[in-house]
Amino acid sequence: MVWHTVANRTDLTEGRGWPVRVDGRRIAVFVVGDGVYAVDNCCGHIGAPIDDGAVEDGCVTCPWHGWTYDLATGEQLITVGRRAGLRTYPALVEGDDVLVEISGD
């Protein structure tokens, strides 16, 4: 597992996604309260970018069709059967750097 610096803390705005590309993966990084979260930047419905979604109560809602995901777990919260959650990645702020950990899978 490798930690990647993906942004400066000042780049991120509370409740708004920040799109990054790490090892060929599209990832969205969010700051909510004291937490920083990283998830695949691709809604499980039809692949819409999730970084533009509205953030409320630790969840992000896809701007295209309203699927909602828990940022901490990636769980999809709206659709019957709860299909297609988002992959999550460990994330942290170290000094001014925002880091995301990517496993070698």
Count of alpha carbons within 13 Å of 4, Cβ hemisphere only?
Answer: 17
| Mean pLDDT of the residues in the chain | 91
Q: Three-class SS string for 13-79?
A: CCCCCEEEEECCEEEEEEEECCEEEEEECCCCCCCCCCCCCEEECCEEECCCCCCEEECCCCCECCC
Question: pLDDT by residue (tens digit) across 11-35?
Answer: 999 989 999 999 899 999 999 988 9
pLDDT tens column, 54-73: 999 999 999 998 999 999 99
Task: Check whether 82 has a pLDDT greater than 80.
Answer: no
In the prediction, which pLDDT does 47 show? 87
- pLDDT of 83 above 80: no
